[in-house]
Amino acid sequence: MQYAMLFDDNASNFTKIYCSCGRIVNIDRKSCSVKRKLHKTIECAVCRNLRIGRELDLLDEHYSVPEQSVYD
Ligand SMILES: [Zn+2]
């Protein structure tokens, strides 16, 4: 009985969320609730990669000094 109570409705540790891009993402409930507590956006892998890519671009812009470029 106790074992059964650990698993609610669909007997899954995963829950479905809608990403802002419209994709439905399976996310495990633990990390979902952690992210909600931290007020982090829950997003799909695609959006996550895009966001990280944008952040890396911003970092590049921020730290690149054209006069001292190591790529020249
Ligand atoms: Zn998305």
Residue 42 has pLDDT above 70, yes or no: yes
What does each C-alpha distance from 48 to 6, 27, 36, 51, 54 come to in angstroms? 30, 13, 16, 5, 10
Q: What's the pLDDT band for 51 if we cut at 50, 70, 90?
A: very high
Q: Please write the tens of the pLDDT for every residue from 13-41.
A: 888 888 999 999 888 888 888 988 998 88
Please state, in angstroms and rounded to a whole number, the distance separating the CA atoms of residues 7 and 27: 15
Distance from Cα 33 to the centre of ligand 1, integer Å: 18
What are 10's two structure tokens? 């669909």
Distance from Cα 50 to the centre of ligand 1, integer Å: 9
Cα 46–chain centre separation: 9
What are 57's two structure tokens? 């671009």
Q: Where are the domains of the chain?
A: 2-64
pLDDT, position 36: 87
